[in-house]
Amino acid sequence: MKDHRKKLAARAPLSQKTVVIAGASSGIGRATALEFARRGSSLILLARRIDTLQQVAEQCLDAGARLALAVQADVTKPENLRDAVKIALEATGKIDVWINNAGGGAVGTFEEIPLDVHHKVIETNLLGHINGTYHVLPVFKQQGYGTLINTISVGAFAPEPYVVAYSASKYGLRGFSESLRCELLHWPDIHVCDIFPAYIDTPGFQHAANYTGKKIKPVPPVFEARRVAKAMVRLARRPKDAVNIGETAGLYKAANAIAPALFRRVVTGIMDNYFHRAKPASIGTGHLFKSGENGTGISGGWLQETSPAKKSLLFTAVAAGLGVGFLLFNRR
């Protein structure tokens, strides 16, 4: 009878589920909170910016959430996430879905970025996910079910120049999830799901530490954050190990797997060419160490710079360039 109740709880509709979202104040996290809110879920929203987070909670209640609590939390502080678990359990008695979504980055050549900045990127992206998982996994095991969703990046499969610590953290997250699935083989109703987005239109690039001296922005084509949010909802309903978001995600993964040396040349050439032409910008740590007031929305405004026709053309050009390059490379 007890196992039957656990099965029923695991398969309950989203309107009966409690969802915890780390990094919910902007971008993908904010979009995801609203997607679950529209389905009547109970939400525990985590981020450093409590004022912004409270606004998100109010939006979620207006959108249909059964409950929306704003909890100030820094994922680099394990005690914050331990407290968030307690708050969720006190409020609803369970945690059905936990989403590790907080992240940060630093752009620049490896040696020009200060070492403490590299450390902070790793601490936020990799250890932040580990911290959240460490505190929620015992709850999942006690319940006998639960879904963990990790926002990673296509950068976990395809290296990116000038964001070395970011790439290291994403490669590390992929190994973390895969190893965790091994340990959970005897827990069939506990799922570890990974999302690998391509470049997404969020304020993340405005938040990043910048040591290039140039304005930084995502490599087009760029995709809507809501695509990632909808994928989160689908995973909460029907968990699966991994999901790619954006057509270029699969392309980058395949290109790097088939011709890694060529892929390195192409992506480095694209970045070098961009920085050669980019407008000047100030050097600074962005939101990495301390959250700021800017960039609180879902979008970073990047989609406005890329029309649908241009986006399609860019995708075709990238695909064709990699394909032709691969053929030429293998004739040598």
Answer yes or no: is pLDDT of 234 > 90: yes
Query: What integer is the mean pLDDT of 135-152?
Result: 98
Give yes or no for residue 330 having a pLDDT over 90.
no
Task: Summarize the confidence of residues 159-184 as an average pLDDT.
Answer: 97
Q: Give the three-state DSSP class for 208.
A: coil
Q: Determine if residue 162 is left, alpha or beta; phi over 0 gives left, psi from -120 to 50 gives alpha, anything else beta.
A: left
At residue 291, the pLDDT reads 87
Lowest average pLDDT, out of 177-186, 260-269, 316-325, goes to 316-325
- Is 134 tagged catalytic? no
Report how far residue 80's alpha carbon sits from residue 48's, in angstroms, rounded to the nearest whole number.
10
Residues 6+ apart with CB under 8 A from 305: 217, 220
Q: Kindly report the CATH number assigned to the domain that includes residue 154.
A: 3.40.50.720
Which two structure tokens, joined as six digits, stand for 130? 């580990």
Per-residue pLDDT band for 6 (boundaries 50, 70, 90) equals low
Distance in Å from the first CA to the final CA of the chain: 66
Q: How many domains does the chain have?
A: 1
Per the domain annotation, does 198 fall within a domain? yes
Spatial distance between the Cα atoms of 297 and 15, rounded to a whole number of angstroms: 25
Handedness of CA 227, 233, 237, 242 (dihedral sign): positive
Q: What is the mean pLDDT of residues 99-112?
A: 98
Q: State pLDDT tens for residues 262-286.
A: 999 999 999 999 999 999 999 999 9
pLDDT at 121 exceeding the cut of 60: yes
Helix axes 260-277, 247-258, angle to 10 degrees: 120
Residue 214: the pLDDT is 96
- Bridge partners, 106 (sequence order): 209
Is 297 contained in some domain? Answer: yes
79-83, 113-117, 218-222, 236-240, range with the lowest pLDDT: 218-222
pLDDT of residue 303: 85
Assign 5 a pLDDT band (cuts: 50, 70, 90): low
| Model pLDDT, residue 9 | 75
- The percentage of residues in the chain with a pLDDT greater than 90, rounded to a whole number, is 84
Beta carbons within 8 Å of 17's beta carbon, 6+ residues apart: 41, 42, 96, 97, 236
With 60 as the cut, is the pLDDT of residue 107 above it?
A: yes
> pTM for this one?
0.91
Answer yes or no: is 4 within a domain. no
Task: Specify the pLDDT at position 302.
Answer: 87
Q: Say if 6 falls within a structural domain.
A: no
In a domain, 1, yes or no: no
Q: Does residue 115 belong to any structural domain of this protein?
A: yes
Residues of the domain holding 223 = 15-331
Query: Distance (Å, rounded) from C-alpha 323 to C-alpha 326?
Result: 5
Q: Which residues pair with 243 in a beta bridge?
A: 195
| CB contact set of 134 (below 8 Å; sequence gap of 6+) | 78, 81
Tokens at 318, concatenated: 């990238």
Kindly list the distances between the CA atom of residue 221 and the CA atoms of 156, 229, 309, 311, in Å, as whole numbers in the listed order: 18, 18, 11, 5
Average pLDDT of span 106-113? 98
Residue 318 has pLDDT above 60, yes or no: no
CA neighbor of 318 nearest in space, from 196, 199, 168, 201: 199
Spatial contact of 34 and 63, defined as CB atoms under 8 Å apart: yes
Band (pLDDT 50/70/90 cuts) for residue 96 is very high
161 class by beta-carbon count within 10 Å (0-12 exposed, 13-18 middle, 19+ buried): middle
Tell me whether residue 9 is in a domain. Answer: no
- Kindly state the average pLDDT of the residues 8-31: 94
Could you give phi then psi for residue 70, rounded to 5 degrees? -95, 120
The pLDDT value recorded for residue 305 is: 64
Task: Judge whether 263 lies within some domain.
Answer: yes
In the prediction, which pLDDT does 155 show? 95
Closest CA to 219 of 163, 172, 173: 163
Q: Which of 145, 162, 166, 199 is catalytic?
A: 166
